[in-house]
Amino acid sequence: MRALNCFALFFLCFSLAAPARGQKIQPEPLTEAQQEAIAEAGIDADARIGLYTKYLNEHAGAIKDLTKRIHSAARTSRIDNALGNFSALVDELASNLDEYGDRMADMRKSLKALNEDIPQWQAILHDLPPEPGFDFSRKDAMDASNDLAAQVKKLITTEDAYFKEHKDLKGQQYAEPK
């Protein structure tokens, strides 16, 4: 009976620790140094968005470089992982943009640069040759970048109108809710 209880406890612990079938474990898309740089930017929306844009440019460049390699299972796996990291980072940036938009942080400068880089990322994703090993990740990355493009365009319009009306608030990082 005791052996059966130990076996049941072991099985329960193992099943809770194991990921669900078909579920991917996504690694952190940023290095520790990159995470620290973003943390050091604090509430400065322009600085943080600039860093995210820089890191997304690096990820997009890595994806582009991987497509030039000889077709192999390792290449397909690396592209799939790179696309997953790219999507996760786009989603993280989109969450930050939501927060900055809610607090009416002046991020017009960084939004302009971001808006100029997004089409380059989309072109890299679009030009990826279709392969079953990373088609889902590619679609996810394309959807994330399309959603980000729409979000950025909306924020640019909102921010331009807001700061045109509130010229005295130019450069603010946080507006107190009224």
Could you count the other beta carbons within 10 Å of the beta carbon of residue 20? Answer: 7
The amino acid present at 155, given as its one-letter code, is L
pLDDT at position 96: 92
Domain-wise residue ranges, the chain = 36-169
pLDDT at position 16: 42
Confidence tier at 32 by pLDDT (50, 70, 90): very high
- pLDDT tens figures, 35-52: 999 999 888 889 999 999
Task: Please state which of the ranges 24-28, 86-90, 95-99, 129-133 shows the lowest mean pLDDT.
Answer: 24-28
Rounded CA separation 120/99 (Å)? 25
Model confidence at 2: pLDDT above 70: no
pTM of the model: 0.79
Model confidence at 6: pLDDT above 50: no
Non-local (6+) Cβ contacts of 119 within 8 A are 149
Confidence tier at 152 by pLDDT (50, 70, 90): very high
Q: Give me the residue label for tokens 């399309």.
A: 146
The verdict on domain 36-169 having CATH code 1.20.120 is: yes
